[in-house]
Amino acid sequence: MSVTNLLNNWAAVRHFHPIDDKPHDPYKWAMAIDLDACIGCNACAVACYAENNLPVVGREKFQHGQAMHWMRIERYWNEDSREFPDQGAEFLPMMCQQCEAAPCETVCPVGATNHTQDGLNSQIYNRCIGSRYCSANCPYKVRYFNWYDYPTTDNVWPAEMNYQLNPDVTVRGKGVMEKCTFCVQRLRAAEVTAKGEGRIVREGEVQTACQQSCPTNAISFGNLVDPESRVYKQWKAQQVDLAKDEQEKDKREGGTDLRGYRIFEDLRPYPSVMYLERVRESAV
């Protein structure tokens, strides 16, 4: 062990940063969620349970706020204090925003959460010591901690129910932090297949579980550096730039007629999920 070693290695650990580096070659996984299409049906959330081996914690633990839903559907009401919510509710699917400058990454004492070259905010379960600093510093509160040892907890995966577990995804034990991975197991499989064939992953070749189940196609997911991808086109059409903390369109006089935005952009986490505002008919 030498200081040089340590410093060199250190530089490698934190190499990728959106602003001053050249990452995202050839992938930058990103998402766009159309809130006008989202109907709040929860299909995506259940798909996430099925794909990612999320434990069902039961009534008591849910009451204590220990639910493990990586993807949660939030339901908001207009705050105009009318008698009835006559413009309906607003649903927002919220999961890890895979921030490019993630607040969670810098604070982890053991470097268990890192940025990958393809733009994911990864979580290394084996490395995690459970300090929960990442969750403390997450503005979206989308990180979920294993408060109990769910694999051995009664009625989480009792006999036979455990047959359903996805062998591609680790079943997490107590004391580690977890969160949405953008279905990294699917991404890696697709990337490896593509690499073997000497190409990059094509648009539509890989879907996240939530995207796959969404009956209204509210969720699009893909490679943000691939001009052919739907996500790229959507981000471009909405003039949302990954590396900006305030979009040019929002600085314009009189606002914009585009509805793409990122949540808490001004905190500068550079999230990889763009939302499209919900629309309501003005004529009624």
Residues 9-68 that bind another protein (CB under 8 A): 9-10, 13-14, 35-37, 39-43, 45-47, 49-51, 56-59, 61-67
Angle, CA 220 vertex, CA 218 and CA 222 arms, to 5°: 175
Of 25 and 106, the one with the shorter C-beta distance to another protein is: 106
Closest distance of CB 243 from another protein, Å: 19
Beta bridge partners of 276: 34, 260
Q: Are 157 and 151 in contact (CB under 8 A)?
A: yes
Closest distance of CB 137 from another protein, Å: 5
| DSSP per-residue codes, 123-190 | E-TTT-----HHHHT-SS---EE--S-GGGSTTTS-TTGGGGS-TTSPPP-TT-EE---SSHHHHHHH
Segment 145 to 164, residues that bind another protein, using CB under 8 A: 145-149, 155, 158-164
| Site membership for another protein, residue 128 (CB under 8 A) | yes
- How many Å apart are CA 146 and CA 130, to the nearest integer? 9
| Site membership for another protein, residue 192 (CB under 8 A) | no
Of 4 and 198, the one with the shorter C-beta distance to another protein is: 4
- Token pair in block for residue 143: 């990180």
# of chain residues touching another protein (CB under 8 A): 125
Angle, CA 83 vertex, CA 79 and CA 88 arms, to 5°: 60
Which of 20, 80, 86, 253 binds another protein (CB under 8 A)? It is: 86
Sheet harboring 273-276: ordered strands across?
219-223, 29-34, 273-276, 260-261
| Site membership for another protein, residue 244 (CB under 8 A) | no
Closest distance of CB 16 from another protein, Å: 14
Which of 87, 122, 170, 185 binds another protein (CB under 8 A)? It is: 87
Segment 202 to 241, residues that bind another protein, using CB under 8 A: 209, 212-218, 230, 233-234, 237-238
Beta bridge partners of 173: none
Closest distance of CB 184 from another protein, Å: 16
- How many Å apart are CA 192 and CA 153, to the nearest integer? 35
Of 25 and 204, the one with the shorter C-beta distance to another protein is: 204
Stretch that binds another protein, among 2-10, 17-25, 190-198, 240-248 (CB under 8 A): 2-10
Of 116 and 135, the one with the shorter C-beta distance to another protein is: 135
Stretch that binds another protein, among 21-29, 106-114, 194-202, 240-248 (CB under 8 A): 106-114
Half-sphere exposure of 216 (CA within 13 A, CB side): 11
Separation of CA 87 from chain center: 28
Picking from 103, 90, 98, 107, the residue whose alpha carbon sits closest to that of residue 71 is: 98
Of 167 and 198, the one with the shorter C-beta distance to another protein is: 167
